[in-house]
Structure 1
Amino acid sequence: MLKHPPKEKFIERMRLLLNDEEDLQKYLKTAESHPRKSFRVNTLKISITDLKNRLEEKGWKIKQPYKSHPEIMVVENELTPGELGNSLEHRLGYYYIQEITSMMPIIALDVNENDSLLDLCASPGSKTTQAAMFMKNAGVIFANDISIGRVSILVTNLERCGVTNVIVTRHHGTELCQKMKNHKTYFNKILIDAPCSGEGNIRSSPRTFLEWSPGLIKGLSQKQIKLVQKIEAILEKNGELIYSTCTHAPEENEEIVQYLIDNGNLE
């Protein structure tokens, strides 16, 4: 049973988007389930095999669902509440608790040691630490967020994970892009993991349904447009941009991507 059940307007909206009553009921049933306990091995500090062995010695049943990315692991048995986050291995930065879908943007961006990456909305640092791992602490990452509180969380996770190739900044995203442009600072890889309505977090964040409204989506999509308006000016020629959210809303996804295509030189 959900602590905050979905609002009727949300259900009607999802019914229109899915256009299939059976799919809608499957979606609502999924919303009541618990997400799998997934995490990512931090190979900056430990090998995949060594961590797997350590965790299995604790009695954890570990599954690696992707042969091409063995660093992605899922705990298949039940753990005690808080065990995943309170383990010694987690405190030492040997792994980062992260939903598998959250790992996909950096995998798609395919960063390496020669890249210069801007992570425009970086806190709490899941994708920044993942990028640093793939870059083997080489190259350079600018990790930005808007508030002291969020930057503090970001820095804590960078330190815990042993990341050393990151420059942390605190700016509104649009202001940072303008400053970078003024100083002729460009990036060949950019990630905009945009602030969003969080519809995809319904299982891990029960308050999503409580806070959801059509007005929230409209306001956030306007902010997202302002972010992407500035980004092309600091993307190198032939560079790559990933725009990602954790929501279903077309206004925050397809419509933002279409805006970029219609109003810039991106393909």
Structure 2
Amino acid sequence: MTTPPPLTDRIALLRNRARAAASGPTLFLHEDAAAEIEERLNEVNRRFTAPAVVTGFAGPWAKILPQAKIVPDDELLDLAPGAHDLVIHALALHWANDPVGQLVQCRRALAPDGLMLAVMFGGQTLAELRSVLADAEARLTGGLSPRVLPMGEIRDLGGLLQRAGFALPVADMAARPVSYRDLGQLMADLRAMGEANALAARRRTPTPRALFAKAGQLYGEAFGDGMGRITASFEMIYLTGWAQHESQQKPLRPGSATHSLAAVLAAIPTRKD
């Protein structure tokens, strides 16, 4: 088997994040996700004493878990086996070249019955931007180049938890529309988030200004709000899984049922009008 080419240029990704951090990062989506994760942890009704957070931007996560070990989202995570009762993978999994491998490493880092929570951008994120950039480039050059990171759909991302060996896997989604003055403000925000294009297959030559001008026009026409602003969609997908433990609920073994469905249905009284 041949190894597939990497999706992400890690050097470019780290460079984008460093530039964002140096100029004052825009982390409102991290803050939203951290608030949601904090609420979910409160609902678990358990005190976590050895948490770890895998992230490219520590600030918002250190606020909700000041005692947590902050771990960069490198290909090989700095997580010791069985050392943590909570691992959070925080808005970085969408850039992973091996997302299943990242989740497997998180599971191995958990003590029995430990909890893993991941939040990442889903497939509908920046759908508008992806559409107008492709349309503008096709009209101007007759071709396409990778400009917006492809992100997974919730049904596929939920399956990653099972492949990684988590018990009681759950995946859910929250939509987060954001209003912008124009395409330029959106692009500036993405740079300040450290979410600029870091695709390994990206075009390495400068993008013509005419392409962004055309994309901005198309964006306003297709996704304007009627008041001179545009909307960008961010889909936040949350993944929850537990390290295996004997106390957890388990599905019944096939063939272990004591009553047949036919017998149950036959016992239900038939209504006579």
Q: TM-score, normalised by structure 1?
A: 0.32
Q: Is the radius of gyration larger for structure 1 or structure 2?
A: 2
